[in-house]
Chain A
Amino acid sequence: MSSFRSFTPDRIDALLPVSLRLHREWRSALETLSYGGALPPLPPPLRETLRDVGGVDLVREPDGVDPFASGAFGILYSRLRAEQVLRAVSARTNLTLAGTTVAVVGDGLLSEALATSLRTLGAAVIRATDAPVTALAARLDGYRVQPLKELSARDTPVHLTVLTGEGHGILPVDTLEGLVADASPDGAATAGIGTSPSSRPFVGRAGAASLVEMPAPLPEADATPSGTQWRILDALIALLVLDRHDAGDDDRFAREVTP
């Protein structure tokens, strides 16, 4: 997005308060930081602005640091991403979450965060997973648990299925009913699935399912970044700075990003 180029140092500092402070703690010269894993790359104009104004060249590379190797980052990311996904589902459909049945597919931290929020919002949550340990914990926490192969064999209507991308591959979305949201970091859970337009923006039809387009966790090229996207980016850079200069101290990272 071209407006990234107009960002002043003060503006960038306000949007990335933790990471740029940490960056300056160790050096003020340009620093290249690379990350790998499932998070998407930054839009080139934002990368340039970060480099020119913030002194950080953030690049996604296959052998870069995987931020999800940090337990603290995983916790922060999962909570923020869960909120981002639920807000997007609500705003893009104007449908209720309370009273609905929601299948949360996956076995990681994001699945847990989504299930916890959805239950508090008044939804009946089904945890869909093939991971025995996740299934055990979910069952003991009072969730209905379903193996992935039974995802489309339903005895009650499922209003929303959230694919986290954790512990599952591409699923046959067009065999599902109701809303489907791909909450994976890079959209991998629905890659290649074709949709036809619906009467609602951000919603496409795939068989009987309505696939609700999700925002990316990091700022995107064609949309004004949300506060959540900036916060995840701030955390990502902070993690990489600490990995470079402080031996990846997860406790320090957690202290820095705790509100």
Chain B
Amino acid sequence: MTGRIADPSLWRAGQDRIDWARAHMPVTVALSDRLREAGTVAGVRIGVSDVLEPKTATVALALAEAGAEVTVTSAGRNTDDAVAAALAHAGLPVYARGEAGRSEDRENALALLDHRPEVIVDDGASTIRLVHLERPDVVAQMRGATEQTTSGVRPLRRMHAEGALRIPVVAANDARSKSLFDNRHGTGQSVVFAVADVAERSLRGATVVVVGYGRVGSGIAEHAAALGARVIVTETDPVAALQAAFAGFAVRTLAQAVADADFVISATGIRHTVDVGHLDALPTGAIVAVGGGVSQEIALDAARAAGATELARDGAVSTIRMPSGSVVHVLDDGNCLNVSAAEGNPVEIMDLSFGVQLASVEYLLATVGLDAAVHDLPRAADDEVAAIALASFGGTVDTVSPAQRDFLASWNSHEEGDE
């Protein structure tokens, strides 16, 4: 079994885009060089299950160049066929086709498992769960897995609590080098710019309602404000709402905010966040989109059931007349816009996340006796990823002085004047 992709002839275009990404991924390059020199992954069978685009492809290739036997799979909606072709051209078995539906996606993930991976590098934990459910013989031989999303780590912790997790998993998602940058800066930039590009609308002077002020929402709010939008934040968590107020944003309920909205961007990851009543109350011409997100975060099925009708569809923009008579534009059917209609998060931000993934693989393989549980990446490995990235951005990290170290290490140091 050597792979299943859409069109091998697309490889050149995919390779060009991988080359561009790789040139801006210093952390991934540095850590993969070390893996190669140390022989850490030499001969290790690694399954990469992720969105398949140039940045993830760079990681897969880096692992292969470091000596691993890498197999790749991705869901059809997340697959760039040219990138898949480039990986196949490089000799990696790839099971991913842009037009694949759910059934073929599952077949592709099972095909990856047929390569009997010892390590799975996952995004969303779907393949880790699949191997536990469908290939217990493969799980028995596995050395572990890494997971890079919040929504993937959550069910893995549940599996552990219920005694179902049989391998060590490193929660790459929880490393600071990933969690503090990916959502806020990466998703913030990619969502806001994708909304403006897909809607073909300037944000200057527009009123942008940001629903949810977590890491994604705060990044969206900051980026929209930077492009000249007046931002209104809606939040159900009083502390997060207060943070938004202290960041200088108006804070309202969504029901209040929609009346003035030119754009509504939902960033809660919760189904039916923007419900039929909100859509009904939007001014004609308003644009609605989801960043991050889950299915039906904008309650489009419910809106249709309530009588909303699609008037037109132009590329990724669906124009809908609501029962109130208001005509609104929904971007990419409410899917996660920065992935589905753009190139995803910026390269250097994903370099941090993939650096954490590689550090997690290294930790898994170099650490004897890790039990079947969800583990944090050790602080030193996390710090190393950040230090490499900082240097690439031109920054220099300081060191703790002996006097500082002494102070931090003592419990009774007290100088005159201290309180």
0/1 string, A92-108, CB within 8 A of B gives 1: 00111111110000000
Q: Are B197 and A98 in contact (CB under 8 A)?
A: no
A90 close to B393 (CB less than 8 A): no
Q: Interface residue count for A (Cβ, 8 Å)?
A: 34
| B347–A227 touching, CB < 8 Å | no
Whether the Cβ atoms of B227 and A94 lie closer than 8 Å is no
Interface residue? B398 (CB, 8 A): no
Which listed segment binds A: B15-23, B268-276, B300-308?
B15-23
> In B312-352, which residues have CB < 8 Å from any A CB?
342-344, 346-349
The verdict on B265 contacting chain A, using a C-beta distance below 8 Å, is no
B163 interface residue per 8 A CB criterion: no
CA distance A86 to B227 in the complex (A): 9
- B202 with A200: CB separation less than 8 A: no
Q: In the bound complex, what is the Cα–Cα distance between A96 and B222 (angstroms)? A: 14
CB distance from B406 to the nearest CB of A (A): 33
B205 / chain A contacts, CB cutoff of 8 Å = 258-259
Contact residue among A84, A122, A200 (Cβ-Cβ distance under 8 Å from B185): A122
**Docked-complex contact A95 and B348, CB < 8 angstroms:** yes
Contact A120 B222 (CB under 8 A): yes
Mask for A228-259, Cβ within 8 A of B = 1, else 0? 10010000000000000000000000000011
Complex formed: what's the CA distance from A87 to B343 in Å?
13
| Interchain CB contact (< 8 A) of B347 among A83, A96, A101, A118 | A96
* Interface 1/0 per residue, A106-122 and B, CB below 8 Å: 00000000000110111
Asked, given contacts A90-B346, A95-B346, A99-B393, whether A120 binds B202 with beta carbons under 8 Å apart, the answer is no
Residues of B within 8 A of A83 (CB): 196, 202-204, 227-228
- Are A157 and B393 interface neighbours, CB within 8 A? yes
- A47 contacts chain B at the CB level, 8 A cutoff: no
Question: A156 at interface (Cβ–Cβ under 8 A)?
Answer: yes
Q: Decide if A226 is an interface residue (CB 8 Å cutoff).
A: yes
Q: Check A117 against B226 for contact (C-beta < 8 Å).
A: yes
Pairwise interchain contact A91-B197, C-beta atoms closer than 8 A: yes
CB of B346 within 8 A of CB of A157, answer no
* Residues on the B chain within 8 Å of A227, using CB: 199-202
Contact A117 B227 (CB under 8 A): yes
**A 66-97 to B, binary, CB cutoff 8 A, 1 in contact else 0:** 00000000000001100110110011001111
Assembled-state Cα–Cα distance A118/B228 (Å):
11
Q: Is the CB of A117 within 8 A of B228?
A: yes
Q: Do A95 and B347 form a contact, CB below 8 Å, given A121-B189, A199-B16?
A: yes
B223 within 8 A of A: yes
A101-B394 in contact given A117-B227, A259-B206 (Cβ < 8 Å): yes
CB of B95 within 8 Å of the partner chain:
no
* Complex-state Cα separation, A121 to B346, whole angstroms: 13
Instruction: Kindly state whether residue B186 has any CB partner on chain A within 8 Å.
Output: yes
Contact check, A79 vs B346: say whether CB atoms are below 8 A apart. no
In the bound complex, residues from chain B placing their C-beta under 8 Å from that of A120 are 222, 225-226
**Residues of chain B with a CB closer than 8 A to A200's CB:** 16-17, 20
Most chain B CB inside 10 Å of its own CB: which residue of A87, A95, A199: A199
- Chain B 209-226 near chain A by CB (<8 Å), digits 1 or 0: 000000000000011011
Question: Is B394 in contact with A121, judged by CB distance below 8 angstroms?
Answer: no
- Give chain A nearest CB distance to B40 CB in angstroms: 29
CB of B249 within 8 Å of the partner chain = no
Interface: A198 (CB within 8 A): yes
| Residues A130-188 near B (CB distance < 8 A) | 156-157, 159
Give the residues in chain B near A231, CB-CB below 8 Å: 202
Residues of B within 8 A of A198 (CB): 20
Q: Say yes or no: is B193 at the interface (Cβ < 8 Å to chain A).
A: yes
Nearest chain A CB to B288 CB, angstrom units: 17
User: Is B24 in contact with chain A by the CB < 8 A criterion?
Assistant: yes
- CA distance in complex: A6, B201 (Å): 22
Cα distance A83–B195 in the bound complex, in angstroms: 13
For B173-207 the 0/1 string (1 means CB < 8 A from A) is: 00000000000011011100100110111111110
Interface residues of B in 375-410 (CB under 8 A from A): 392-394
Complex-state Cα separation, A117 to B203, whole angstroms: 12
Nearest Cβ on chain A to B189's Cβ, whole angstroms:
6
176-222 of chain A: CB within 8 A of chain B? 198-200, 203
Contact partners of A258 in chain B: CB under 8 A: 205
Residues of A within 8 A of B348 (CB): 95-96, 99
A143 to B10 Cα, complex, angstroms: 46
A90 to B223, CA, bound (A): 12
| Given known A-B contacts A80-B204, A157-B394, A87 and B196 have beta carbons under 8 A apart | yes
Which residues of B are found within 8 Å of A156, using beta-carbon distances? 394
Considering only CB atoms, which chain A residue lies closest to B15 in the complex? A199
A87 close to B201 (CB less than 8 A): no
CA distance A144 to B206 in the complex (A): 30
CA distance A79 to B206 in the complex (A): 13
Query: Does A96 contact B394, Cβ atoms closer than 8 Å?
Result: no
A91 and B393 form a contact (CB under 8 A): no
Closest to A94 in B: B343
Q: How far is the CA of A80 from the CA of B202 in the complex (A)?
A: 7
B202 touches A228 (CB 8 A): yes
- CA gap between A86 and B192 in the complex, in Å: 12
Query: Do B204 and A79 have beta carbons less than 8 Å apart?
Result: yes
Task: Give the CA-CA distance A214 to B21 in the complex, in Å.
Answer: 20
Residues of B within 8 A of A (CB): 16-17, 19-21, 24, 54, 185-186, 188-190, 193, 196-197, 199-206, 222-223, 225-228, 342-344, 346-349, 392-394
A-B contact pairs, 22 of them (CB 8 A): A83-B202, A84-B202, A86-B193, A86-B227, A87-B196, A87-B197, A87-B227, A90-B189, A91-B197, A94-B346, A95-B24, A96-B349, A101-B393, A121-B189, A121-B226, A157-B392, A198-B20, A199-B20, A227-B200, A258-B205, A259-B204, A259-B206
With A84-B202, A94-B346 already in contact, 5 other A-B pairs whose C-beta atoms are closer than 8 Å: A83-B227, A90-B346, A95-B346, A157-B393, A227-B200
Q: Which 8 A-B pairs have the closest CB atoms?
A: A259-B205, A120-B226, A96-B346, A199-B16, A156-B394, A98-B185, A227-B200, A157-B394
